[in-house]
Amino acid sequence: MKQISRFSHFGELSDKDYFRIALSVDCVIFGFEEGELKVLVIKCNIKEYKGMWSLLGDLVRPDEDINSASYRILKERTGLDDVYLEQVHTFGKVNRHPAGRVITTAYFSLVNIKDHQLKLSDNELHWHPVKEIGDMAFDHKNILDTCIERLREKVEDHPVVFNLLPKKFSLRELQSVYEAVLNCELDRRNFRKKFFMMDWLVDLNELEEDVPHRPGKLYKFNAAKFAKKAKKIS
Amino acid sequence: MKQISRFSHFGELSDKDYFRIALSVDCVIFGFEEGELKVLVIKCNIKEYKGMWSLLGDLVRPDEDINSASYRILKERTGLDDVYLEQVHTFGKVNRHPAGRVITTAYFSLVNIKDHQLKLSDNELHWHPVKEIGDMAFDHKNILDTCIERLREKVEDHPVVFNLLPKKFSLRELQSVYEAVLNCELDRRNFRKKFFMMDWLVDLNELEEDVPHRPGKLYKFNAAKFAKKAKKIS
DNA sequence: ATTTAATGTGTATTTTTAACACATTATTGT
DNA sequence: ACAATAATGTGTTAAAAATACACATTAAAT
C-alpha cells in the first residue's frame, strides 16, 4: 500500500488509522413467488443477532471492485451469473456492526426464482415475503426498506420487473408483479393498454397451461425496445 | 478493533487484508451565480493529476459516520453548517485512486453563494461553471456527472433548489435556477402557474431593488408546505 | 350442460401538460 | 419630460395522459 497521507488535510490521525474501517457489500435479492415479493435472507450466526434474518453480504476484497463484489455474492449464493443489480446506498453509522467499523454498500437485485430453480448455496437461505419480515439483524431492515423504496421508484419508469418473471409470462403475472412491488391494486384494462402502447411486449402466440381457468396469452419482454421512454405505470 | 473473521465466508484472506481499503467522502457542492450552476472545486496537488480540478473530499475517520464526514468537509471548506446534503453513489473501482485502494462515497450539496459570503477555507477553491468543466482529477468528472444527473431527478419533484437561492428571491431568479439545473428553457407563464398551485411560495410584498428594469416581487420558500406533493417542473 | 373464474376489449371523463400574446411598470438615456 | 428599453404580470385554448368503468368470451371443473 502506497502512502496516502496527502489525503489527510487535518493531521491528527496517522495514515494507518484510516485503515481500520472495513467495507462490505449487502445484496437485497428480490424474487417473486406465489404472488408475493420476496427477499432472500439467511439466518444470522453472529451472537448479537443470533437467529435473526440478515441480508447476503460479504467484505469487499482489497483487489475487487465493489460492483464485482456484489456480483460475486450473487453468484456464490444463488448460482446466477446474469442478474439485474443496482447500487442503492451506503450505510456508514459508526456502530452499525457489533464486530467493528464496517461500512456497507447496499445493492438490490432482481432474480427469477422459478426459471432456473436457483442453486442456493446454503439451506439456511430462505425466500421471505417482504411484507411480513419484521426485525432483522444489524441495520438490515433499514437497508431493505431503502431498497424497496428505490425499487418502487425504479419500476415506475424502467422496465426492470421482467427480471423477476420467467421468460414467458402472461399479462396477469406481469400485473401481479407490479402490484406486489408497488403494494397497490392496478386497473387491468389501463395496465394492459399502457404496456401495449410502450411496445415492450412480444406476443408469443402461446397460451398458459395448467391454469384452472381460461388461459391467458404468453408474452416475452421486447429487449429491443428497452430504451423507449416509459409512461408511469401506476 | 474486535475480531471480524466471521465475515469472511471464504477463508483465503485473513482479517487484516480487509483493512487495506480506505474510505473517503467526496462532496459535489453546487452553487448558483450569474445565472449559472457552479460547483466548488480545488486545484489538485497530487502529482498524477497536478493542477486539475478536483472535488472536495477527505478520508472518513474511524470514529465518524460517513454522513458526519460529509458535513465536516462542508463546514471546513465553506464555513456552512446547515446545508442540504444528499448521498448519491459510492465509487469503488480498484484503481480509481493512484495512492492506494480508496473507495469513495459521493454526496451533493446545495448552498447559497450570495447570502453568507461563504468563508472559503482556501484560495485554491473556485466556483466553476458546471457546463464548462472539462477533465477533472481522478474519476471526479464521472462523480460530478452522476451527481448532476441525480440533482436533475431530485429537482423534478422536490423543492430543493431553494437552497441555492437567497432567502428572498424573485420568480425570475427561481425560474433561472431551474433552467440552469435542468439545462433547458421553461415557459414563464406555466412555470409561475405551477409554483402558485404548489403553494410553496410566500409573497413578501417586497420588490427587487437595483435591477435595471421593472422590479419583480420577492418571495420566500414556504417551509410549512414542504411536504406537499410536487408536480413535475419541466 | 351448467357453473366458475379468469381473459380480452373500448369509450367517456378528468386531469395534466404545453403552447402562446399583450398590456404594465420601473429604469435608462436623450 | 419623454421615448426607448427590458423586464414583470396575467388566461385561455389545445393536446396528451391518466382514470374510471362493464360486458362478452373462453377454457376448465363439476
> A-side interface with B, Cβ within 8 Å?
1-4, 6-10, 13, 17-24, 45-46, 58-67, 69, 76, 87, 89-90, 92-94, 98-103, 105
**Given this model, what pLDDT does residue B123 score?**
76
Point out the domain boundary residue: A105, A122, A154.
A154
Ranges of beta strands (E only) in chain B are 22-33, 36-43, 53-54, 56-59, 84-91, 102-110, 125-129, 169-170, 201-207, 217-221
Q: Supply angle C-alpha A29, A149, A78, rounded to 5.
A: 5
Cell numbers standing for residue B34:
450569474
- What mean pLDDT is predicted for residues B100-126? 86
Q: What is the rounded distance in angstroms from the CA atom of residue B100 to the CA atom of residue A62?
A: 10
Q: Does A52 reside within a domain?
A: yes
Number of CB atoms found within 10 A of residue B6's CB: 11
| Sheet containing strand B169-170, strands side by side | B169-170, B217-221, B201-207
B148 and B172 housed in the same domain: no
How many domains does chain A fold into? 2
CATH number assigned to the domain comprising residue A107: 3.90.79.10
B8 inside domain: no
What length is written for chain B?
A: 234
Å: A49 CA to D23 C1':
56
Same domain as B86, residue B179: no
Among candidate residues A154, A188, A213, the one where a domain is terminated: A154
Least CB–CB distance from B66: residue in A10, A64, A90: A90
Distance CA A37, CA A148 (A): 10
Confidence at residue B212, expressed as pLDDT on a 0 to 100 scale: 84
Nearest to B9 among A58, A87, A90 (CB): A58
Show residues of chain B in contact with A10, CB under 8 Å: 58, 76
Contact A87, B46 (CB under 8 A): no
Q: Please tell me whether residues A40 and A135 are part of one structural domain.
A: yes
Q: Both A85 and A43 in a single domain?
A: yes
Q: Is residue B175 part of a domain?
A: yes
B15: buried, middle or exposed (CB in 10 Å: 19+, 13-18, 0-12)?
middle
Same domain membership, residue A139 and residue A63: yes
- Asked if B22 and A2 come within 8 Å (Cβ–Cβ), the reply is no
Does B49 share its domain with B125?
A: yes
Nearest CA to B173 out of B39, B32, B38 is that of B32
B11 CB-to-strand D distance under 7 Å: no
Nearest by CB: B66 against A1, A66, A103: A103
Angle between helices A188-198 and A171-182 (to 10 degrees): 110
A209 phi, psi to nearest 5 deg: -125, 160
Residue B116 has pLDDT above 70, yes or no: no
**Cβ contacts from A onto B, under 8 A:** 135
Same structural domain, B30 and B107: yes
Q: Which of the nucleotides lies closest to A214 (Cα–C1')?
A: D27
**How is B34-51 classified by DSSP, letter by letter?**
TTEEEEEEEE--SGGGTT
Nucleotides of C under 7 A from a protein CB: 4-11, 16-21, 24-28
Same domain for B81 and B41: yes
Give me the sheet containing A201-207, strands edge to edge.
A169-170, A217-221, A201-207
| Residue A4 resides in a domain | no
**Position A8 in a domain:** no
The 10s digit of each residue's pLDDT in B146-195 is 999 999 999 998 999 999 999 999 999 999 999 999 999 999 999 999 99
Let me know if residue B67 belongs to a domain: yes
- The beta-carbon neighbor of B99 closest among A2, A46, A94 is A2
- Three-state SS string across chain A, please? CCCCHHHCCCCCCCHHHHHCCEEEEEEEEEEEECCEEEEEEEECCCHHHCCCEECEEEECCCCCCHHHHHHHHHHHHHCCCCCEEEEEEEECCCCCCCCCCEEEEEEEEECCCCCCCCCCCCCCEEEEEHHHCCCCCCCHHHHHHHHHHHHHHHHHHCCCHHHHCCCCEEHHHHHHHHHHHHCCCCCHHHHHHHHHHHCCEEEEEEECCCCCCCCCEEEEECHHHCCCCCCCCC
What ipTM does this complex have?
A: 0.92
- Which of the pair, A120 or A98, is modelled with greater confidence? A98
pLDDT at A169 over 70: yes
The least confident of A3-12, A15-24, A56-65, B124-133 is A3-12
B153 secondary structure, DSSP code: H
Residues B107 and B201 in one domain: no
Is B23–A24 a contact, with Cβ atoms under 8 angstroms apart? Answer: no
Please tell me the predicted confidence (pLDDT) of residue A122: 75
Give the rounded percent of residues in chain A with a pLDDT score beyond 70: 88
B interface residues, A as partner, C-beta within 8 Å: 1-4, 6-10, 13, 17-24, 45-46, 58-67, 69, 76, 87, 89-90, 92-94, 98-103, 105
Amino acid A208 CA to nucleotide D30 C1' distance, rounded Å:
22
Q: Between B126 and A7, name the one with better pLDDT.
A: B126
Q: Report whether B22 contacts A16 (CB < 8 A).
A: no
pLDDT given at position A223: 80
Q: Is B17 helix (H, G, I), strand (E, B) or coil?
A: helix
Same structural domain for residues A124 and A185?
A: no
Amino acid at A47: K
Q: Which residues of A touch B103 (CB under 8 A)?
A: 23, 60, 66
| Interatomic CA distance for residues B191 and A70, integer angstroms | 43
CATH of the domain at A197: 1.10.10.10
CB of B194 under 7 A from strand D?
no
What pLDDT, in 10s, does the model give residues B84-105? Answer: 999 999 999 999 999 899 999 9
Q: Residue B132's domain spans which residues? A: 20-154
Phi and psi at residue B135, in whole multiples of 5°? Answer: -65, 150
Which nucleotide lies closest to A172 by the C1' atom and the CA atom?
C7
A74 CA – C6 C1', rounded, Å:
37
Q: How many CB atoms lie within 10 A of CB B171?
A: 17
A3 belongs to a structural domain: no
Task: Specify whether A126 is located in the same domain as A174.
Answer: no
Neighbouring residues of A130: CB distance < 8 A, sequence distance ≥ 6:
A30, A36, A37, A38, A39, A144, A148
Q: Contact A92/B3, CB-based, under 8 Å?
A: no
For residues B112 and B227, membership in a common domain is answered with no
Residue B215, C-beta contacts closer than 8 angstroms, at least 6 positions apart = B170, B207, B208, B209
Tell me, yes or no, whether A9 lies in a domain: no
The answer to which of A54-68, A212-226, B33-47, B208-222 has the lowest mean pLDDT is: A212-226
Domain edge (last residue) among B131, B154, B177: B154
pLDDT of residue B1: 40
Q: Compute the average pLDDT of residues B187-206.
A: 94
